[in-house]
Structure 1
């Protein structure tokens, strides 16, 4: 591994999808950029997702606006970054089982449209036609957003990392940050580097990194566990990612199985009780999956803010920028987040 340079215009801390996007956009703009990651690129939250990018975020059109911009960037990724992503369109559906959820969707719909989000209300019958596993009688209606795609998050990380290097950025892996001085000198076991600006994109560790610089980011890491089912008894084709609005249960097809998630056990809840809750929802909403065995796929921590919306900004008195709190939706927002960090840094 080459030695750390003595200084850089920007030191990006965190090499996931947000950090590599930031490094690319900064380097492309002529900023002397160094990226540091405590492990391998994309080895944190970016690797622990369902592999979907979407634009519809219920009740959150601001996030949807960033996601719309980001999806356009992904469609242009091969041209602009030089790495095809192989986006596979699946769509995203939210199942409503309470009248209040439909009313909330309708109240939010105009703002979603203004943000450029393609989403509409469909009947339970239409939902079951899009995803035959759905029990039509268990659902009142659904939100349907066709602009949702399967993608490998590591392809995005690798593409942005290569593009950043092509523009002169230097990326250092297995280089954890151990301290940050008041003058923005960043310390690591491999040496120290003086940063004109620090950009914190460390995912679940963003709060810890910020605290090293005496910056308060009100983060609360959020655990999630992804599960696989056994191979269902009846064959199934590709289906949309489908989410239950009440429980947050999400399912999608994954080769010959079903991939699903519903957070992780609550405080004081056993894993068996949590799995029981999941099984109950599956049996009600997707009868073909009633009683199917579940297996751990992977677990990880996501960075979450108190309101479950991302923090993207700059400290008012020191050159410390941050993008964190994406709650597992970093893939959906990374291009726009990288652009926003670039613009914030250049404006300081």
Structure 2
């Protein structure tokens, strides 16, 4: 059975749903295909944090600044309230090289619109009183970090996309793409389209290869976030805090701490021991709290931790938005706007060449 659709979006996470919404809002006939349930991939393994500062990555920061403005405007467009609780983002520097790298990166961050600056160790400890006796030299602090709710964002984009006329099909994995013919094969049949958009996250690599696009995406990585037992009475609220040397990230979630530190790899128990040891060293008052799995999910990644967003003109056209490397929630509104503008041949409002596949990015 064959059906016609002007644009087929592959992937029902926060990126694909943002794309479907922005295209449908612009009057495009959109069908979105999701292999599982909406938000069941990387979108389910987030810390529910939206922020604008990405160290050493002003391109991702620029996308995040644009996206954060869109999240603030959600009550007006698409007309849905989102939870946004401002907590700030703190990055702890314990090595001189980290301070030097921050200062070198700062002009590009400011040019991207990021509100971030260097604060002293005393101020960092005032903002996060849990910090122990680290050799803390300084810290980066950005006030523009918020606790939100990824499920609420996914649901909001899905509702807005359907209201704008998009068709969302779940439980419908894509088995092949014939980009030259504009055909998408699924277990339920074939769809034809004027354009195909790949926003399939961890499942993107094989799909973009079908379209003849060589994206140097890594194999899917499993992300795991941990949560502690309930905190001692009187534990303070804190900014989202990253220990730059170890990658230990913590934030308060209700009466517990939510914790991430890189990726577990094959030896999950060893990784958990490392997390517990680093947590006790960095925040002694949290030592001894049991750690439990909070969420897990597969994540896509690019070599430079910057998303790939671009297109091959058609007809039929092929567009891609993938490789967000854990930045997807922070970049989703901007990604939807950029894909819409690329498809409609409109001014995207920023230089998108830094996001496309290029020899510089593929090595």
Does TM, scored on the shorter chain, surpass 0.5? yes
Q: Which runs of 5+ in 1 are unaligned?
A: none
The C-alpha deviation readout for 1:178-232, integer Å capped at 9, x for no partner, is 1222302111122211011100101111112223334322211222111011223
2:228 aligns with: 229
The residue matched to 2:174 in structure 1 has which SS? Answer: coil
Is the CA contact (8 Å cut-off) linking 2:29 and 2:166 kept in structure 1?
A: yes
Structure 1 residue ranges (4+ consecutive) displaced by more than 4 angstroms after TM superposition: none
The structure 2 residue matched to 1:67, chosen from 64, 70, 81, is: 64
Deviation at residue 87 of structure 1 after TM alignment: 0.6
How far apart in 2 are the matches of 1:259 and 1:231? 11
TM-score (norm 2): 0.90
Q: Which runs of 5+ in 2 are unaligned?
A: 347-363
The structure 2 residue matched to 1:328, chosen from 316, 326, 329, is: 326
The residue matched to 1:63 in structure 2 has which SS? Answer: helix
How far apart in 2 are the matches of 1:166 and 1:282? 45
How far apart in 1 are the matches of 2:271 and 2:154? 32
TM-score (norm 1): 0.94
The structure 2 residue matched to 1:36, chosen from 33, 49, 52, is: 33
The C-alpha deviation readout for 1:251-305, integer Å capped at 9, x for no partner, is 00011111101122346xx323222222222122111112322111121111101
The C-alpha deviation readout for 1:122-179, integer Å capped at 9, x for no partner, is 1111111111111254321110011000111121112112221222111111111112
1:169 aligns with: 166
The structure 2 residue matched to 1:205, chosen from 193, 203, 206, is: 203
How large is the RMSD of aligned CA atoms in angstroms?
Answer: 1.7
Is the CA contact (8 Å cut-off) linking 1:224 and 1:262 kept in structure 2?
A: no
The structure 2 residue matched to 1:22, chosen from 2, 19, 22, is: 19
The structure 1 residue matched to 2:130, chosen from 125, 133, 142, is: 133
1:315 paired with 2:312, answer yes
1:54 aligns with: 51
The residue matched to 2:153 in structure 1 has which SS? Answer: helix
The residue matched to 1:282 in structure 2 has which SS? Answer: helix
How far apart in 1 are the matches of 2:311 and 2:119? 41
Output aligned runs, 1:271-290, within 5 Å: 271-290=268-287
The structure 1 residue matched to 2:145, chosen from 141, 148, 152, is: 148
2:184 aligns with: 186
